[in-house]
Each structure stands twice: as structure tokens, then as C-alpha cells.
Structure 1
């Protein structure tokens, strides 16, 4: 309920300072305490009445974002379970919950292109701050979530449900707050929400000029001042966050016309994905399934997924919406000729067996807006410097090789591979990393193609970390558990699932179990295959 400090602020606001000075010297302390106690009770009754009113408004709303059931997070907080949960879906559910509550209370709002595009940011006027707190507290009572101060940063209420008044103790000083819901899927292996949420900024009205303006409390990607009567327009989520699906089925958000501009890092061209399928059997299918799920979960912006099948494609693999293309008859070593695939976009990501995405990505992580690729660097060692591919790369470009390239998903362009093929560059037969007893170095095609592109100004190598794990690694269980708990690496690459050592020591089965837990949500390309790993066909 209302604390004594709130009552004291109200007391100072309604009682003039001279009167307070006289009362302090002439009115007995017992009487003053009685007056302040009565004020606290009055404020409590008023707050309770306004809260009930806000709760009725929220309960009348049609919240399609409600969860199927509630559960407990590993740290004891309340979480919400959703079938088929993805990071992108969670972001949109959060947005719909907050905006529906604001609309129910007739509070005007508009989306702001925040500096951190992991989160969607909304703006409301400072004069509506009290009403915003009431309706959001009612919302968080109906749909349990959490609130913290985003500016200035204060996370000491992150474990207090937002329906409790003490969760709002920093609200009065906050220029921006963050509302979060913790969401998971039925197996409760994937949790989403801690680093997302909806941020709400409180914009002040400036009346110094004839046309009133709204002034933001902190910088954003465009500008901090907009006209108060600016025209509102619809805006796609992909314009607010680079992590969103450009063709999402959810309704767009609303912003002012000044904010509907492209981000500096926005990628406007389509990006496809190419997956190589070459290992029939249980562990080979699990690698393919995991790659598809990692794309579905962490790269919703990918346009079409092309599966180049060097073996008969699994029966469960098919797509109904035109986003999956299965190309049969692929041969070993076809990596350098992918530009000949029919209908492949100019820009694409290549996933060899075992290559996975480990956390949300943006197109900008792999390409620049002008189309240049951003291949991932690997560890440059003396052994790498003497690898055969470096000789061929030097012969093709006339420039010495000074960097290696990491396994895992890598970006390519059809034009770059086409130019390389025209030069008749020699490509060493690539090793099969899934049957080798030890980790392999830079893939010959990656090394040659990326060095060629770099030498011709078509690539700008980056240094994002990639976790490389061999299934026969001693202490594998501990490494897998760390990856599962942290979930902080953008790229993963597993080798050796078909090696004799991994199969005999149980390493392959351990990796498969890890993949089931890391990627529990089925992709749209799996049919007749529920999310429960025990029911795989």
C-alpha cells in the first residue's frame, strides 16, 4: 500500500511551507502523526479504488498473448509456458500485452527506435505517468511479470512481481521502465525474456515554441524531439529491431512519421540459408534438425532455406509455405558451386553438418548494408599457415594469407563464388569433419572463398566467437552443460559425431541429448514430429 514517504510528499504539496513551519512548532507531534496517518489511509483507499478500476479495464481486454499455463523459473520467479515459443514471438507477445493495456486505458503511445534493438521501446507523455503505473500494475497482476527502472538503471526489483507495490518503489524517479515476462516452452529447457521486455519512456511536453513538442528522456536512433501533433503511422517490427522477422504475421506497431527511417545497419536485401545434408542415420538427422531449429529460433529473417541433399532426404523434412527448397543429387565437395543452385538469393548463409546458431542474430552480423560479407575469423596458428588451402588462396589472389576462418555458419555471395569459379582456383577435397577423430582446421572452401573475397574488397572478416566441440572430447558432458546454461555464444559447431571414438564412448549420444535440450522447439520444416524428443519418428 502507500508508504509514509508518499504521504509526506502529498502533505508537502497541499500544505504551504509557512503553515508547515508553524505546525511543526505549535502542533503536538501526536496530532501531526494522526494527520499524516489519516492521509496515508486516504491515499491507500484512493489507490485501491484506482487499481480496481484499472484491473477491470485490463480484464475486459482481449489478450491473445496470454500463456497456456504458469510455471516456476529456476530462480523461483513466475514464468509462462507457450507452445512453439521463439525469441521473436516472445518479443511480439510482450508488445501486444503492453499496448493492449495502454489502449484499454486510452493512454496515447508510439514506438521509439531504441538504441538497443533487442527490446521494443514505447513512448508515453509524462503527464500520463500515474495512469500508466496503475494500468501496468493491473496488467502484471493478471499476467504476472516484472518491472525495473531502465533509466536510471536499477534492477533491485527484478525478482518482485509487478503486481506488488514495492516493485514500483523506483517508479517516481524513473525516466524509463522495463516490463518483462519470463516465457518458456513445454519442456522448460528454453527461457526467453530476461534480456528482452518492453521499455516505456516518459516524454515531456515543451511549450516554448508555438508548436508543442515532445522531448525524450534519453537518446534513440533518430531524434529526441518530435512534434506533439506528429502524424502516426504503422511500422513493421523489423524497422524497430534487426532481430525480427521481416515477414512476421503479427500486426505492426505504431510510431510517428519521423521515426520511419532505415537503421544504419539495416539490411534491405533477402538472405537465404543453405544446409548441406550428407549423413543418413540417427545422428545425421539430428544435426540437420538442430540446424533447422536454430534458424527458426535465432534467424527468423532468413528468407528461403535450401537443403542440398547428398543422401535421401528424411521423410519428416518438408515445407508448405515456399520457404524450404530441397535439392537432391548434391555431391561431396559441392560447397564451391552453390552459386549454381536454382533460385538461390545473392546473399546466403552456409551451414555444413553440425553448424548451428546459438543465440539471436541479425543480418548485419553476417553482411553489411552494401552487400559485403562478414565471415567469421578463426584461430590463426602455425599449423593453419601451412595448410594446403593457403597455398591455393595465395595463387588465386597473389596476396599472402594472414587469417583463418572459423567453422560454423558462414556468409557467402553467389557473385563471389562465381568469380572464384571463373578463375579455376584449385580447391582441396574437404575432409568430413563428422568422421574425423580430431578437430579439423579451416574448411578449404571457406578459406579460399573468404580470402578471395577479402582480397577483392567483397568481405570484411569479423571476430565473433564460435564454440567448436568434438564429440570425442574428454569431459564433454561438462562442456555441453556450460553451453546449455550460458547460451551466450552466437555460433556453435559440432564435429566427430560419426567418429569411432565418439560412438564407442557415448559422445554422439551426449551431443544429441544436448541438441534436444538446446533446441526444444520444432521448426516449420518438420512434419509428423511433435516437440517431445521421445516421439521423434
Structure 2
């Protein structure tokens, strides 16, 4: 999926900045001219800025090579300082053809970009060792504005005999041999946003042609579980199942209400994790009306395909479904498990979830698993945490006390298979429990992380995160803060106790928020 998407992106870039609609948007506390792109994404903005710069340098016959910078968002191109005046002229002409902006990157933030189509701007930056060129990108409704964070830096390297020396530090090489011929290098070596399978290449030097030890080179898939709790057929099947859930939360309508969260969660993955290889949507033979199940890069998986014992179906227990995810045919060894109420709020990298040696990361929560044995007063997640704790205490002699944040769970199939064998009785019991029960274990959201940690295959991670309870009165204010700052890698819009009567009021707040935060349709939505 990601490789084909990257190839289409590379072919599209020259025409993206060649013309098209423009709009005046507010960014960096000023009015900016932006290019309107119906498929605007951070990766497209990064690639468009890089292409605009390299096309201008190519047209002027100026030699350059790409450098690995410190940010996955911005690209970096190196030019001999002797060609500075020619490069300025070429870039000024490019900014005049399609309105572009110039800034000088600073160690502690950037000054507001200035109009690159105004000659006086170039007078101000005449001696700058590094310039950032930005062509603003926005969606048709101007809700997403992609600016200097995704710009292209032009570094002016100084010549010392047969060596070019960088004007600032970078993670790979601060000098290159002038006599070394240029090479074509995969673009994925310069940003973790591009998957290693992508075929796009860029001009660089041999010093930048190797993969770093901390680069994640293996494929990573995403798995979602989803249910449409308003589907009449699904409701009839659920009503026909005998047995009463032990706790009100296990049967709460809030657990099965759909507010179109999945649509926007998929958009967040498309925007902020373009390195994902494939997406699997696990459902009870349900398909969202807006989803195109034939679109490349996504597959709808039935519960019947993954349950070892199909006789336990139908199930309405997320713990049971999560215990079977590793049985998905074709799933990569390393994958992320999303609930549909979890969203990426800004760009994330494979390294945020897995180390390059395959070790997974997990994200402990301040919330604690209560002491004691499971009881009818425990909410299902606490009961499952207590059962996990008993298994781990017996196996490793340690006492589990923390729950996990409601984030994408970084999982390994091999660890999940091992857990299925190591704790076979409670694993089978959880899979057979049609509703969340007191004997459940929570395999994907907790047990995997602790078991992998104790066996040397997982380590704690850290990402900026927040959770908003939809039934809480401060939710509108929290959503407004999220939208204004966009400073969380992950956020969760959780709900456990709302009723169908609450849905209309919640949608009045939630839908505008999600549509503003994620305005660009994903490739998996119907036209």
C-alpha cells in the first residue's frame, strides 16, 4: 500500500506546484497564499516543497544533494556556497512563479516566513547559511494548513580543498568528498514518514546512502476492531444470546454506539502514519457504508476467519476478539492495534512504537489496577488487569499495578502466539466469553506488554497523549484545546456510559471537531 502510494505521490509532485487553485489562509499569525490540494497531507507537503526546490536548482544547472536532517517533516538539500547567488536567483524565480515563502531556521524556533516573491526578502537573507523554502498547502475548505514545518531547507556547504563542510550538525555526515560522484538513494533514508518499501529515490552522496542502526526497516500493519451497534441484524443476534453481563459497562450501549469515529481514525492514520503497510478491519461481518473494502491497502476480516473455535461466536466481548488478532492471515509480525476511538493527532514514526531491533514499546497509564481479587464491583478492564496480574505474578514473581493508556498498542504476532500457548486455559476461557466477564484476561491491551517486557521484547515508550471522556461536561473545552494546539501525538475520545439519548448532543460537538481536525478523506473511503 505505502509503496504504491509513494510512487503516485512522486509522479504528482511536479504538477502539484505547477498551478491550480490558490487561497489566502491564516498561518504563522499572518495571511499566506496557499495551494489548494484536495489530497493534502503532511507527506505531500514535504515532497512538494522538496520537489519545488530541486526543480528550481535543476533548471539553473546547480549541483545539490539531499542531506538527512534532524526532522522527519522537513527535507534538507545541500548546495556549494560558491553557488549561493545563483541558487538565490533560482529559488526567488520559483517563489515568483508560485507564491513561496522564505525563513531562516533557528535553533529555538523559526522567524515568521517572508514572501519569497518579494526581492527585498532575498536581501535580508543574503548571507544566511541555511534557508527554508515553503509553499503552503491547504485542503479545499482551508481546515488543514501545512506550512514551514514541512519546508525544504537549503544548506550552503563550504569547500575546503576536496571536502564540502556542513554549516550545521546533522545525524549522519557533516562533510562529504567533492570528488565522490552523486548517487540515487531511497527517499525513505531521509524521513521515517516514507516506508522502506517506497521506490522513490533522490540525489545524494555516498555518505548518506546507508541505513542507520535505529531505522525501522520491517513492515508494520494496523488492525482495527469495529462494530456498528445500530445494525438491526447485529442487534437481533445480540438479543438472541443468552446470559447477562456481570457488569453494566459490559453491556452499556455506549460500547457499541458509532459516531463515525472509525472514518476519522483512518484519516488520522492516512495523514500522520503514511509508513503503515496495510490495514485490517476486524468486524462481525459488518462493513461501514462509507468504506470501500476493495480499496488497496485495506481488508475487512470476519470474526469467523480468526477465531480458533468458531463455536464461541457470535461474541460481544472485545477481550475475546482481541485475543484472536494474531490469527489474521497475512498480518505482519509487528503491528499496531487501534480501537476506533483512538486518533493520531500529529505525525508519528515507526520508532515511536518499535525499536529497530524489533522490540515493541508500551505506554503505562497513571491509572492503577485495584488491589485484591476480581469482584463484581470491578469494571471489566480492572477485573482483566487483576487476572493478568495473577498470571504474571505466578510466571515472573512481579506484581502488575498499572493499566495502559488508550493508545495504539504495538504488538508482535510471535509474542501473542506464545501467550496463547503459555496461558492456554485463561486464553481459551476469554475467547469463549461472549460478554466481558470476571475471568477475562486483556491480551492485546495489557498482558502482551508486560509479558514481552519480562521476556526482553518490549520497553516503555513515551508519546504526548490525552483522553477525553465524551460524557464529561468539560469535553467541548478539551476538544477546542486539542484543535487549537494540535500538540498530542495520540488522543482518545472514550465513552463507557453514554446512552443513545446522549448521542445527538455529542455528535453536535464531536462531528465538527473531527471534520475540522481531519478534513482530508482517506484512500479507503468511497468517493
Shorter-chain TM-score tier: 0.7 to 0.9
Q: Deviations over 1:265-316 (max 9, x none)?
A: 2111110000111134496261111121111111111111000012511243
- Which of these residues, 73, 93, 96, is aligned with residue 138 of structure 1? 93
Measure, in 2, the Cα distance between the counterparts of 1:455 and 1:502. Answer: 45
Residue aligning to 1:532: none
Please say which of residues 499-508 and 73-82 is displaced more in the overlay: 499-508
How far, CA to CA, are the matches of 1:152 and 1:376 in structure 2?
Answer: 30
One of 336, 356, 359 as aligned partner of 1:369: 356
Asked if 2 retains the 8 angstrom alpha-carbon contact of 1:275 and 1:307, the reply is yes
Q: Verify: 1:176 aligned to 2:130, yes or no.
A: yes
Match of 1:31 in 2: none
Query: Residue 408 of structure 1: CA displacement?
Result: 2.3
- Matched ranges for 1:6-405 at <5 A: 64-74=16-26, 75-150=30-105, 155-156=110-111, 158-207=112-161, 212-248=162-198, 251-281=200-230, 284=258, 286-320=260-294, 322-329=296-303, 331=315, 332=317, 333-381=320-368, 383=370, 387-398=382-393, 399-405=398-404
Instruction: Tell me if the contact between 1:65 and 1:93 (Cα under 8 Å) persists in the aligned partners.
Output: yes
Take 2:370 and 2:127, find their aligned partners in 1: how far apart are those partners?
58
Tell me the CA shift for residue 498 of structure 1. Answer: 7.7
The 8 Å contact of residues 347 and 411 in structure 1, kept in 2 or not, is answered as: yes
**C-alpha contact 2:322 2:444 (8 A) present in aligned 1:** yes
Q: 1:63 to 1:229 in 2, by over 3 A?
A: farther
8 Å CA contact 1:319, 1:524 repeated in 2? no
Higher mean C-alpha displacement, 69-78 vs 240-249? 240-249
Match of 2:460 in 1: 461
- What displacement does 1:92 show? 0.7
Q: Is the 8 A contact 1:272 1:349 kept in 2?
A: yes
1:389 CA drift (Å) = 3.3
Contact 1:285–1:314, Cα closer than 8 Å, also in 2: no
Cα-Cα RMSD: 2.7
Cα shift readout 1:332-366 (whole Å, capped 9, x = no counterpart): 32102211111111000001121111111110000
Judged with a 3 Å threshold, the aligned counterparts in structure 2 of structure 1 residues 166 and 379 are, in CA distance, closer, same or farther, namely farther
TM-score normalized with structure 2 length: 0.80
Q: Name 1:517's counterpart in structure 2.
A: 516
Please list every run of 5 or more consecutive structure 1 residues that lacks an aligned counterpart in the other structure.
Answer: 1-60, 436-441, 529-537
**Secondary structure at the residue paired with 1:378?**
strand
Q: Give the 3-state SS of the residue equivalent to 2:292 in structure 1.
A: coil
| 2:44 alignment partner, SS class | helix
**In structure 2, do the counterparts of structure 1 residues 280 and 154 end up closer, same or farther at CA, with 3 Å as the change threshold?**
closer
SS at match of 2:263: helix
